[in-house]
Amino acid sequence: MRVLGIDPGIAIVGFGFIDKIGHKLTPVQYGAITTEAHTPPEQRLLQVYESAGALMDKYKPDAVAVEKLFFNRNVTTAFDVAQARGAIILAAAQRGLSIGEYTPLQVKQAVVGYGKAEKKQVQEMVKMFLKLSAVPKPDDVADALAVAICHAHSAVLTNKINEVKRS
């Protein structure tokens, strides 16, 4: 199973493709989609949508796992991130891909075993799980890989839940 993990954003979208074969996780490709700060919002969303779609077309994931929006104090940022998240989910849905959504707490629980783990702990576990020589940078990339790992660990249960929802 190939999973695309996404850490959504408007300036930086972290992405990471991993393959799960049995219990083994292997990194395929990872990086970031970036948009320029002074670009009109609609152009930034278009760039996120098109870039995410191109990555999906190139690496052919079986599933897309997206981090759920954690609402903090900055409402404007939250709306921008929510719109980018929607663009990515639309690109996945248009390709008929299975979509999993996970809260930061669920991701930390799946990767570290503790829902209130520090960011550094998550990054080190991503490095260990995927046998990487260094923690991926920027942080959004490591976060995206953590989301992919979370989905890989819980995909069977997630698929069953989605089947029940569709019934």
The answer to whether the beta carbons of residues 4 and 64 sit under 8 Å apart is: yes
- Name the strand (E) or helix (H) holding 41: helix 41-59
Maximum distance among all Cα pairs of the chain, rounded to whole angstroms: 45
**What is the reported pLDDT for 52?**
98
Report pTM: 0.91
Q: What angle do CA 81, 19, 141 make, to 5 degrees?
A: 30
Block means of pLDDT (10 residues each) for the chain, length 167 residues? 96 97 94 96 97 98 92 71 95 96 93 88 95 95 97 76 73
Task: Report the 10 Å Cβ neighbour count for 41.
Answer: 13
Catalytic residues: 7, 67, 140
The confidence score (pLDDT) of residue 23 equals 87
What is the pLDDT, as a whole number, of residue 76? 66
- pLDDT value, residue 156: 64
Compute the distance between CA of residue 144 and CA of residue 46 in angstroms, rounded to an integer. Answer: 20
pLDDT for residue 139: 94
